RNA sequence: GGGGGUGUAGUUCAGUUGGUUAGAACGUCUGCCUGUCACGCAGAAGGUCGCGAGUUCGAGUCCCGUCACUCCCGCCA
């Protein structure tokens, strides 16, 4: 690297952002500051593209404008930090660069200050092609300079800004809630923070501000929101980070419909103001049961059809034992029609079957519809009537490929949902520019956990059942039939928000605790303060919590949540830039009364 | 906790059946070049093939282990 003294800012003042420069400024003297994005040194005349937070412009260093300046410009390399004073000039017609936003002008340098240099770069800033993700994360501050990521982080800012604006205009107060709070063993694993003053006791970081936002309703604030940081110590995914951000909001004196409306207007506003995209509202609604039946998932991607069909009743008496025995054991037979895929090769279909097996399926039965009839090695087991019904129900047409899964309902749903998404991509049925929103409603309040032989809440334990289902809380054989006033907002198969109308009546809340096996004593111990608050005039209330990271991911077209978070964790929940988590000074542990027993 | 993928120069990648001195592009360095915009031209430096052990006359390549990143299942709204 070339060694030299840097220039200090001295009396230099930035007088323009690059975005503000235009042909109208021709001849005006400006000072711009930023990074050398690319350089083209012709020996005499030197060009650089200078980048600041707003954009990029070509700067011209001509020896005629100062030999010393020109000699200095010769030293410039990628990512050097400079201040350039010079004149805006319009480019002659034949020199306009159509690919550059500021390609019609250039900046004629008169004075150059090199404010800082850069070592050889571990990740290139000026190339679209990005480096391995671990390198990008290690040098995140360089990665973030790339125009692509700058754009995503700026979009994130704009989205959050518009959320604040919209909600503030709709009588919501932004109120912060504690980061250090009481641990609740339900749901996700807590991140714990030891207390120094009370050795052996711990705070937890919030999984969500759920209890606090309900307390704010009880406090009479009527409408609350918060850009809330949430923490869950669970394993990561492409769309899941251990710390993430939710737009947490809650409203008093509302029912589901009110939450839907404000949320729809909010999303409409955000999309219009940041992407200039018109979202039609209201969003369609689909029942949980219907979503599971037709799409196999509670977060269906409705940008394409390929609905799953149920054949359980049709084939209950079939001679094909693989199907009928599953049905006798309480399982289901469901199928999907891969339109026009009859020409798939053996290996292509085997690949689909392999994926199905990875999700727990025992196999993937298949039939082709060709020459107006079903063909496969298993068709001989079915009567003509059954074959006719299969073809009817699946709306089979010439050259279709029918794929069947016979299994427990849960597995059949999972496998076919995965298959459906795969086929949607493979068959090019997905319009990548579309934002297809849908409310998934009428979730069951409880789910049976077969492994632990107990009921669990499907969402969280503070959800109010549908009013007509409240009596069923006293009938143990009907727990599974209780529908909760809870709802998810799904877009393009991504769960963007989740919310519910909360239980504001202590007696009902206690019954819910009882169903999931939390007894009186435990209630008092863990939620005593919360249950007590219900006794002093709790308004009916409910809310929703849109996941901001996922929203930005969707709106920016990012493949990973990491691309819309400035400093994300890796899949192993570490930060490779700061190398955390890390060991700490033994003195600190001692002060906390913590002893590390063994490290595997 | 389980399964899949990746790991070779600063970076992105190629590297045949196990066989001489591990290649290319970009970046870096030196020289030339006054209108380039992915500038061009000539040259140079740059490698613990993730790490460890093994098979072999010989390993980037094969076997085993291990680490890191990534995708998925479990887990988690």
List A441's β-bridge partners, or say none: A287
pLDDT digits (tens, 9 = 90+) for A538-572: 999 999 999 999 999 999 999 899 999 999 999 99
Residues A475 and A498 in one domain: yes
Mean pLDDT calculated for residue range A363-376? 89
Residues A442 and A560 in one domain: yes
Per-residue pLDDT band for A343 (boundaries 50, 70, 90) equals confident
Residue ending a domain, among A61, A94, A116, is A116
d(CA A1, CA A575): 30
Residues A258 and A333 in one domain: no
pLDDT digits (tens, 9 = 90+) for A261-300: 999 999 999 999 999 999 999 999 999 999 999 999 999 9
Mean pLDDT calculated for residue range A412-424? 92
DSSP A91-146: PPGGG--TTSTTTTEEEEEEEEEEEE--PPPSS-SS-SS---HHHHHHTHHHHTTS
Residues A81 and A62 in one domain: yes
Nearest CA to A250 out of A438, A550, A462 is that of A462
Phi, psi of A354 (to 5 degrees): -60, -45
For the cut 90, the answer to whether the pLDDT of residue A449 exceeds it is no
d(CA A208, CA A230): 5
For strand B, is any atom closer than 7 Å to the CB of A549?
no
pLDDT at A372: 84
**Contact between A308 and A336 (Cβ < 8 Å):** yes
In a domain, A599, yes or no: no
Segment holding A40, helix H or strand E: strand A29-41
* Count of domains forming chain A: 3
For strand B, is any atom closer than 7 Å to the CB of A131?
yes
d(CA A229, CA A179): 8
For the cut 70, the answer to whether the pLDDT of residue A335 exceeds it is yes
How long is the CA A456 to C1' B4 vector, in angstroms? 32
pLDDT at A432: 87
Nearest CA to A440 out of A497, A501, A502, A503 is that of A497
For residue A30, the domain's CATH number is: 2.40.50.140
pLDDT at A464: 95
Residues A271 and A345 in one domain: no
Q: At what angle do helices A520-533 and A210-218 cross, to 10 degrees?
A: 50
In a domain, A576, yes or no: no
Per-residue pLDDT band for A2 (boundaries 50, 70, 90) equals very low
Residues A531 and A511 in one domain: yes
Give the nucleotide nearest to A463 (CA→C1'): B77
For strand B, is any atom closer than 7 Å to the CB of A184?
no
For strand B, is any atom closer than 7 Å to the CB of A351?
no
pLDDT at A599: 55
pLDDT digits (tens, 9 = 90+) for A464-500: 999 999 999 999 989 999 999 999 999 999 999 999 9
Q: How far is CA A594 from CA A193, A201, A456, A588, A599, in A?
A: 11, 10, 33, 9, 14
Q: Is A566 helix (H, G, I), strand (E, B) or coil?
A: coil
For residue A400, the domain's CATH number is: 3.30.1360.30
d(CA A29, CA A566): 35
pLDDT digits (tens, 9 = 90+) for A106-165: 999 999 999 999 988 999 898 776 788 899 999 999 999 999 999 999 999 999 999 999
Predicted TM-score (pTM) of the model is: 0.94
In a domain, A144, yes or no: no
**Domain, as residue range, for A403:** 304-430
Q: Is A542 helix (H, G, I), strand (E, B) or coil?
A: strand
Q: Which residue is nearest to nucleotide B69 (CA to C1')?
A: A134
In a domain, A124, yes or no: no
Residues of chain A above pLDDT 90, percent:
76
pLDDT at A600: 46
Q: Work out the mean pLDDT of chain A and round it to a whole number.
A: 92
pLDDT digits (tens, 9 = 90+) for A5-17: 789 999 999 999 9
């Amino acid at each position: 690297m070339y060694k030299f003294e840097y220039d200090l800012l001295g009396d230099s003042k930035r007088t323009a952002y690059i975005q503000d420069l235009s042909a109208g400024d021709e001849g005006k003297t400006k000072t711009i500051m930023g990074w050398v994005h690319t350089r083209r040194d012709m020996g005499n005349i030197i060009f650089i593209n200078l980048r600041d937070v707003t954009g990029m412009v070509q700067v011209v260093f001509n020896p005629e404008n100062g030999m010393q300046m020109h000699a200095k410009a010769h030293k410039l390399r990628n990512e050097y930090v400079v201040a350039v004073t010079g004149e805006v000039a319009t480019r002659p017609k034949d020199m306009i660069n159509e690919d550059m936003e500021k390609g019609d002008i250039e900046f004629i340098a008169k004075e150059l200050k090199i404010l800082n240099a850069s070592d050889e770069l571990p990740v290139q800033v000026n190339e679209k092609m990005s480096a391995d993700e671990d390198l990008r994360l290690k040098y995140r501050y360089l990665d973030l300079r790339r125009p692509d990521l700058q754009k995503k982080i700026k979009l994130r800012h704009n989205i959050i800004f518009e959320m604040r604006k919209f909600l503030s205009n709709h009588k919501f107060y932004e109120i912060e809630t504690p980061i250090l709070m009481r641990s609740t063993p339900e749901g996700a694993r807590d991140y714990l923070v030891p207390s120094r003053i009370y050795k052996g006791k711990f705070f937890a970081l919030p999984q969500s501000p759920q209890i606090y936002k309900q307390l704010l309703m009880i406090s009479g604030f009527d409408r609350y929101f918060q850009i809330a940081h949430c923490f869950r110590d669970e394993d990561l995914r492409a769309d899941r980070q251990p710390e993430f951000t939710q737009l947490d909001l809650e409203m008093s004196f509302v029912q589901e419909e009110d939450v839907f409306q404000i949320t729809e207007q909010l999303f409409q506003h955000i999309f219009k103001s940041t992407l200039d995209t018109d979202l039609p509202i209201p969003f369609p609604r689909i029942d949980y049961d219907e979503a599971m039946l037709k799409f196999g998932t509670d977060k269906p991607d409705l940008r394409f059809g390929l609905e799953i069909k149920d054949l359980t009743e049709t084939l209950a008496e079939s001679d094909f034992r693989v199907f009928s025995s599953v049905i006798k054991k309480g399982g289901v037979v469901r199928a999907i029609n891969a339109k026009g895929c009859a020409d798939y090769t053996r290996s292509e279909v085997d690949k689909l079957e392999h994926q199905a097996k990875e999700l727990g399926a025992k196999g993937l039965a298949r039939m082709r519809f060709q020459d107006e009839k079903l063909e496969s090695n298993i068709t001989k087991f079915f009567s003509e009537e059954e074959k006719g019904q299969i073809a009817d129900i699946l709306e089979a047409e010439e050259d279709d490929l029918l794929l069947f899964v016979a299994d427990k309902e849960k597995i059949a749903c999972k496998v076919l949902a995965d298959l459906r998404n795969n086929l949607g991509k493979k068959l090019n049925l997905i319009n990548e520019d579309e934002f297809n929103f849908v409310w998934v409603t009428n979730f069951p309040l409880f789910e049976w956990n077969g492994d632990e032989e107990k009921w669990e809440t499907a969402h969280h334990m503070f959800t109010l059942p549908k009013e007509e289902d409240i009596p069923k809380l006293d009938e143990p054989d009907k727990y599974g039939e209780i529908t909760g006033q809870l709802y998810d907002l799904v877009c393009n198969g991504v769960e963007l928000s989740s919310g519910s109308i909360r239980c504001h009546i202590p007696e009902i809340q206690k019954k819910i605790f009882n169903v999931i096996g939390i007894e009186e004593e435990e209630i008092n111990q863990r939620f005593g303060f919360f249950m007590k608050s219900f006794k002093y005039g709790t308004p009916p209330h409910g809310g929703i919590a849109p996941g901001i990271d996922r929203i930005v991911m969707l709106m920016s077209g990012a493949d990973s949540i990491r691309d819309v978070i400035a400093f994300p964790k890796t899949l192993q929940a570490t930060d490779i830039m700061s190398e955390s988590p890390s060991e700490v000074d033994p003195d600190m542990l001692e002060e906390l009364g913590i002893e590390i027993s063994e490290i595997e």
